[in-house]
């Protein structure tokens, strides 16, 4: 039965159908021909139920806020601010790129938005000081993936939708530690890489210039403080934070920076709506898929096949990491989270895994897989944004994948990397 399901999905994917079609067609065939559950029309109810959660309202709002900022000057002001303090150091432009991607991720929550907003201007700067194009693009792609961990993370919201015992606010806080750790690894690598290849140093700005760039960046830097501070102090929910982020982005870009005209907002909203519709269709199809495979007892068969009879928390986390990493190398992270989380979540809870720590491990592997060949989604995003071939994009990725794998092992082994901020309060 499971082979029939996988076979149908693989064939449809190879024929070029969008991901939502295999997600719906596979379970539908099982219901119609294998008699694994009730009437197939109930799948429609499950799809509607999948996108009925209140927490999902945050997704289009964060996407809209990210699109507004990508169209405006927020990313430029962040780059100037960070570059004024670290740009003159050995590997400073690469460190600036990693830091800017981390900061913009804390504003947008979207890897694709980060690639566009930070990647375009920083790639030009990196090339001017002597970096190879493959190294520059690899740095941008992998640094942008921190956006899946740093709040407001859409991946965390989708995980919380499936794992209802996990608070979105707690997940946001827990993602900060691993995100900062990735940045530190990338910064050390940037220093070593620049020293080996003798990358020239940038001019050191004066303290007057630094003060100017800092003042200009204060308002964009307010985003993470408003979102995290507001959620964790109980001033508003994650969904309300998403609405406030849209309002804040509009005020910044339309009325303060005047980088966007009011007449351009409908076009930006349309673009956000198209992206949101794609996400919601995947969420709805993923809910139907999870519902059908639970009737077919596929989760039980899969966990019994890959886990011992009485798995420890470490056994579960290692298997979860492997499955999510491999899955996201081929499929969109949202789909993988929706499909695999219901399979492993009950087993993980039985084994004593903290649901917040599990969420961080899952989203971390989703971030890692989405920038890993052969089909990591961010590889194709970068290929389109920079107009480079697939091979050009992936050529410089191995060192970053190795570093991310090391951090992934550390996060799995030491849950305090994820939970220490939560345990402080």
Which of 77-91, 296-310, 368-382 is predicted least confidently? 296-310
- What pLDDT shows up at residue 1? 60
pLDDT, mean of residues 80-91: 86
Q: Going along 294-354, which residue ranges are E strands?
A: none
H helices present in 145-237, as ranges: 154-162, 168-174, 176-196, 207-232
What distances in angstroms separate CA 86 from CA 32, 90, 91, 123, 259, one per listed residue?
61, 9, 9, 17, 27
Distance between CA 81 and CA 371 in Å, rounded?
27
- What pLDDT shows up at residue 269? 92
Distance of CA 55 to the CA centre of its chain: 17
For the stretch 249-271, pLDDT in tens is: 899 999 998 889 989 999 999 98
Question: Is residue 411's pLDDT more than 90?
Answer: yes
- What pLDDT shows up at residue 37? 59
Instruction: Look at residues 179, 155, 173 and name the one whose alpha carbon lies nearest to residue 340.
Output: 155
For the stretch 320-377, pLDDT in tens is: 999 888 888 777 788 788 888 888 888 889 888 999 999 999 999 988 887 887 767 7
Instruction: Look at residues 278, 412, 287 and name the one whose alpha carbon lies nearest to residue 357.
Output: 412
Q: For residue 264, how many other CB atoms are within 10 A of its CB? A: 15
Question: Is residue 55's pLDDT more than 80?
Answer: no
Distance between CA 147 and CA 110 in Å, rounded?
6
Question: Is residue 38's pLDDT more than 70?
Answer: no
pLDDT band at 425 (very low <50, low <70, confident <90, very high): low
Report how far apart the first and last C-alpha atoms of the chain are (Å, whole number): 48
> CB burial class (10 A; 0-12, 13-18, 19+) of residue 266?
exposed
Instruction: Look at residues 179, 146, 86, 70 and name the one whose alpha carbon lies nearest to residue 371.
Output: 146
* Candidate ranges 55-59, 271-275, 284-288; pick with highest mean pLDDT: 271-275
In terms of pLDDT, which residue wins out, 59 or 181? 181
Ranges of each domain in the chain: 24-423
CB of 95 closer than 8 Å to CB of 191:
yes
- The H helix count followed by the E strand count for the chain is 23, 0
pLDDT, mean of residues 372-386: 76
% of the chain beyond a pLDDT of 70: 95
What distances in angstroms separate CA 193 from CA 115, 187, 190, 355, one per listed residue?
22, 10, 5, 37
For the stretch 222-240, pLDDT in tens is: 887 787 778 777 788 888 8
CB of 329 closer than 8 Å to CB of 369:
yes
In terms of pLDDT, which residue wins out, 420 or 18? 420
Question: Is residue 393's pLDDT more than 80?
Answer: yes
What distances in angstroms separate CA 257 from CA 70, 260, 303, one per listed residue?
13, 8, 53
Distance between CA 304 and CA 234 in Å, rounded?
41
Q: Count of alpha carbons within 13 Å of 215, Cβ hemisphere only?
A: 6
The first and second tokens of residue 79, run together, are 């780059």
The first and second tokens of residue 417, run together, are 């990397």
Q: What is the SS3 assignment for 341?
A: helix
Instruction: Look at residues 336, 328, 321 and name the one whose alpha carbon lies nearest to residue 405.
Output: 321
pLDDT band at 408 (very low <50, low <70, confident <90, very high): very high
Q: Count of alpha carbons within 13 Å of 336, Cβ hemisphere only?
A: 28
Q: Count of alpha carbons within 13 Å of 380, Cβ hemisphere only?
A: 10
- What pLDDT shows up at residue 36? 59
Question: Is residue 80's pLDDT more than 80?
Answer: yes
Question: Is residue 72's pLDDT more than 80?
Answer: yes
Instruction: Look at residues 13, 21, 1 and name the one whose alpha carbon lies nearest to residue 327.
Output: 13
pTM: 0.82
- What pLDDT shows up at residue 59? 83
For the stretch 112-154, pLDDT in tens is: 778 777 877 888 888 888 888 888 888 988 888 888 888 778 8
């Amino acid at each position: 039965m499971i082979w029939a399901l996988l076979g149908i999905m693989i064939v449809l994917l190879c024929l070029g159908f969008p991901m939502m079609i295999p997600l719906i067609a596979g379970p539908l065939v099982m219901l119609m021909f294998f008699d694994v559950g009730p009437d197939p029309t109930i799948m429609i109810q499950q799809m509607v139920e999948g996108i009925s959660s209140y927490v999902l309202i945050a997704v289009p709002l964060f996407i809209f806020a990210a699109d507004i900022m990508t169209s405006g000057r927020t990313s430029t002001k962040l780059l100037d601010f960070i570059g004024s303090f670290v740009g003159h150091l050995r590997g400073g432009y690469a460190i600036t790129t990693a830091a800017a991607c981390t900061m913009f991720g804390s504003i947008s929550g979207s890897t694709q938005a980060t690639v566009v907003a930070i990647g375009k201007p920083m790639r030009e700067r990196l090339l001017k000081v002597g970096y190879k194009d493959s190294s520059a693009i690899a740095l941008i792609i992998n640094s942008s993936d921190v956006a899946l961990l740093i709040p407001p993370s859409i991946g965390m919201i989708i995980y919380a939708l499936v794992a209802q015992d996990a608070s979105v606010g707690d997940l946001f806080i827990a993602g900060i530690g691993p995100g900062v750790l990735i940045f530190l690894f990338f910064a050390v690598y940037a220093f070593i890489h620049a020293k080996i290849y003798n990358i020239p140093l940038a001019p050191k700005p004066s303290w007057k210039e630094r003060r100017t760039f800092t003042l200009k960046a204060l308002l964009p830097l307010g985003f993470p403080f408003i979102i995290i501070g507001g959620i964790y102090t109980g001033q508003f929910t994650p969904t309300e934070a998403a609405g406030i982020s849209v309002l804040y982005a509009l005020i910044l870009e339309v009325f303060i920076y005047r980088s966007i005209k009011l007449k351009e907002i409908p076009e930006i909203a349309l673009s956000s709506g198209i992206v949101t519709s794609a996400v919601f269709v995947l969420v709805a199809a993923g809910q139907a898929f999870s519902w059908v495979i639970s009737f077919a007892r596929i989760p039980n068969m899969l966990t019994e096949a890959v886990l011992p009879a009485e798995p420890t928390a470490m056994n579960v986390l290692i298997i979860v990491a492997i499955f999510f990493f491999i899955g996201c190398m081929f499929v969109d992270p949202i789909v993988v989270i929706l499909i695999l989380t219901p399979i492993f979540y009950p087993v993980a809870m039985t084994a004593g895994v903290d649901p917040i720590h599990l969420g961080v491990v899952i989203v971390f592997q989703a971030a890692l897989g989405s920038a890993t060949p052969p089909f990591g989604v961010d590889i194709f995003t970068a290929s389109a944004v920079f107009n480079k071939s697939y091979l050009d994009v992936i050529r410089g990725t191995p060192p970053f994948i190795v570093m991310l794998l090391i951090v992934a092992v550390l996060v799995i082994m030491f849950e305090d990397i994820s939970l220490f901020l939560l345990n402080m309060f």
